[in-house]
Structure 1
Amino acid sequence: MKVGIIGLGAMGLGMARRLAQAGFLEGVYNRTAAKMTEFNVTHYNQPETLAADMDVILVCVSADNDVLEMVDAIASTIKPNTIVIDTSTVSSETAKKAAACLAKKHAAFLDAPVSGGVEGAKNGTLSMMVGGDAAVLEGVRPVLAAITARITHIGDTGSGQATKAINQIMCAGINQAVTEALAVAQAQNLPMNKVIEVIAGGAAGNWFLDHRGVTMTQGEFSTGFKLALHHKDLKIAQAMAAQVGVATPLTDMTVTDYQQLMAEGYGDEDISALYRLKVS
């Protein structure tokens, strides 16, 4: 089974390294060619040529238009029975469009967004939520096990992305809670490392506090999940919630906060940069 990956950004690079270490990776494509040089596999100049050679193709790009652009490109050369796995975070509607496009070529599609951050991609501990044919998923599960700690089949095409939108709403709430609480602690001149350590060990402990608590209180926001990308994801979540008539006041507040931070030039920082607004 020949496996290739399209997209070597912060998440894609970590996943590609894990696939290479596991002996699965056969080819890579990235718009910035320099990112491919570390991999001792075939480097492709176009996604179409990669698609012609591979049995399984992982896609990890930033936005809906990027996914559809890549799918349209690979559909021109893809072989029947190829499996395309999109790990990007996009809308359910985009996933369904991609699946329909590939179905015309008798290729399978799984929408398989992930959660766990760049650390999870690096360490192979991502949580993957999958929409699409369960039998197709079972066929590629050994490949996906190289990059994940948990793989859950949610349901039909698009359900993986819908679940990821729920994840992103929760992340917004956690970000708001953690940054606000730590801002209050800092305003009281409490020893921040001790505060974070003791809270992390109790009922309020969470991944975000563990991995971003200390760095945010030290004014360090360079690593992790880009704020502008979470903003993009929350806009998807807002639209999804609006379709079913559910109010999302916390998500709406986070989108507004992110817009302010992006306007101030912090869009490429980690989402913990929300702390800037809490202590200002």
Structure 2
Amino acid sequence: MADNYAFIGLGAMGYAMASNIRKKMSTDATLYINDINSSACVRFKDEHSSYGNIEIVSTAREAANDANVVISIVPGASDVKQVYLDETHGVIAATKNSERILCECSTIDVQTTREVGEKLKAAGLGTYIDTPVSGGVPAAERGDLSLLIGHPPPSPSNPTHTRLSTTLSMIGSPPKFFYLTTLGAGLTAKISNNYLSGTILLATAEALAIGVAQGLDPKQLYSVIRASTGQSW
């Protein structure tokens, strides 16, 4: 029997990721979708029903109940806790299923993801994996995201691992999958990457500002940097 999927969080990134999931998963399986913006759910169902069954549900618990794979991407740590740990409406209140895969793709703090993962494991809800993504909306639309995965590499002899690999290949590019072994390691890598990216951006802006303040044309200065050792992007 084909796996049913649940997708929680239909913002700009989530909408594009869920679109690829519905297009690539089995046509015989159901995709359960949930978002606080009900109009996004309605629009998604209208645009994707030709690919297979889609059910709009009002809580994360309902989304996870009959799903073997749950994917979420929400704004922050408090939202992740609400999605997964709310005792009434969260995933933790769903039907127990030790074979369920829970891929959490938000960029949040490591402590929260470890807390959530440990509580879900203890409750028998499945394997929770921090799976932050990189590449932005264009890569999400192409199904070409980089994935930083807090989990050991898939083992061909482990059916759960095989399903994880299959799932991630629906939203990302396997050459850009980084299996970082332990829960929280994916987020540690994502935060490190974002810190470096932000630092480069800040330094670039400061350097350009210095040149412009001294009368240089910003386009010419940009060309100089592109052709010199300051090139970093």
Q: In which range does the TM-score fall when normalised by the shorter chain?
A: 0.7 to 0.9
Cα contact 1:110–1:133 (8 A) shared by 2? no
TM superposition shift of 1:132? 2.8
Corresponding residue of 2:157:
none
Provide Cα deviations, 1:141-186, integer angstroms capped at 9, x if missing partner: 1221122121111011111111111112112112112322343455
Provide Cα deviations, 1:9-64, integer angstroms capped at 9, x if missing partner: 22212211222232367121001101112322211111111111211000101111
- Give yes or no for the alignment of 1:74 onto 2:120: no
Cα contact 1:44–1:50 (8 A) shared by 2? yes
**What's the RMSD between the two structures over aligned residues?**
2.3
- Give yes or no for the alignment of 1:29 onto 2:34: yes
Q: TM-score, normalised to structure 2's length?
A: 0.78
TM superposition shift of 1:106? 4.4
- Give yes or no for the alignment of 1:38 onto 2:43: yes
Cα contact 1:71–1:101 (8 A) shared by 2? no
Amino acid at match of 2:100: T
**Whole-Å separation in 2 of the counterparts to 1:16 and 1:201:** 40
Provide Cα deviations, 1:92-142, integer angstroms capped at 9, x if missing partner: 211111111211224111111111122222222221111135444542212
- Divergent runs of 4+, >6 A: none
Q: TM-score, normalised to structure 1's length?
A: 0.66
Corresponding residue of 1:61:
74
Structure 2 residue runs of 5 or longer lacking an equivalent are: 155-159
Q: How many percent identity over aligned positions?
A: 24
Q: 1:190 aligns with which of 169, 193, 217?
A: 217
The structure with the greater share of residues assigned to helix is 1
TM superposition shift of 1:200? 5.1
Paired residues, what number? 205
Structure 1 residue runs of 5 or longer lacking an equivalent are: 207-280
**Whole-Å separation in 2 of the counterparts to 1:31 and 1:177:** 38
Cα contact 1:109–1:132 (8 A) shared by 2? no
Corresponding residue of 1:275:
none
Corresponding residue of 1:168:
194
Cα pair distance change 1:202/1:20, threshold 3 Å: farther
Cα pair distance change 1:137/1:184, threshold 3 Å: farther
